[in-house]
A and B are shown apart, each in its own frame.
Chain A
Amino acid sequence: ETGVTQTPRHLVMGMTNKKSLKCEQHLGHNAMYWYKQSAKKPLELMFVYNFKEQTENNSVPSRFSPECPNSSHLFLHLHTLQPEDSALYLCASSPQGTDDTQYFGPGTRLTVL
């Protein structure tokens, strides 16, 4: 359960705040992902990074800004969020190659006031 970690686990922020979510994987994987999980909706893919390069941006508003400084770390920078952005933000990683299994972190529960 410690393969993919996320901090903080809970975050409450105002609409004018700037905050960052952090994800770290200790599995030696090359691909990392951000997903958003809202109540009553499916998990939504936000961003994909492959060998530190962003390969997919799923039409996410610019108030969400990802950063991947190396294959083990992934950040999601947040600013001027809206209340409807309140959700569970899940990070995942995968080995790439022949194994596509994605391993999820525990998530950050974000509340925007």
Chain B
Amino acid sequence: GENVEQHPSTLSVQEGDSAVIKCTYSDSASNYFPWYKQELGKRPQLIIDIRSNVGEKKDQRIAVTLNKTAKHFSLHITETQPEDSAVYFCAASKSGGGADGLTFGKGTHLIIQP
């Protein structure tokens, strides 16, 4: 089955700086890669996703890049703000329009230092 590795487990950055979280996956058939943000005591919420036919996707301060050959994808957050503090999870699945469960990474606790 799919295995998703996520690094680092904790990331502390100064407010205004950029943060990068990296994930690798094992199953070359995986083609859908979402990122979820989970604040303390709250549900995971999708912040951005990418499919394997795209190399990069951007949404304001958040971007995701995908390298299919190397089987890794990364989340980039620029101009970090205190409200970006949360746990971020990457995930992978073999999306084909059906119902496919997600395989998640272990999460990265992002801390934004004022």
Partners in one complex: yes
Q: Does A100 contact B (CB under 8 A)?
A: yes
User: At the interface with chain A, which of B61-69, B73-81, B101-109?
Assistant: B101-109
Alpha-carbon distance between A97 and B95 when the two chains are bound, in angstroms: 9
Q: Which residues of A contact B99 (CB under 8 A)?
A: 30-31, 33, 48-50, 55-56, 94, 96
User: At the interface with chain B, which of A12-20, A73-81, A101-109?
Assistant: A101-109
User: At the interface with chain A, which of B10-18, B38-46, B52-60?
Assistant: B38-46
B104 pairs with A100, CB closer than 8 A: no
Interface residue range, chain A: 20 to 34
Given the known interface contacts A90-B44, A101-B49, A102-B46, the answer about A42 and B101 at a Cβ–Cβ threshold of 8 Å is no
A48 pairs with B100, CB closer than 8 A: yes
Cβ 8 A contact of B97, one of A49, A98, A104, A106: A98
Given the known interface contacts A33-B101, A100-B32, A101-B34, the answer about A43 and B89 at a Cβ–Cβ threshold of 8 Å is yes
| Contact surface of B with A, Cβ cutoff 8 Å | 4, 6, 32, 34, 36, 42-46, 49, 89, 91, 93, 95, 97-107
| Contact surface of A with B, Cβ cutoff 8 Å | 30-31, 33, 40-45, 48-50, 55-56, 58, 90, 94, 96-98, 100-107
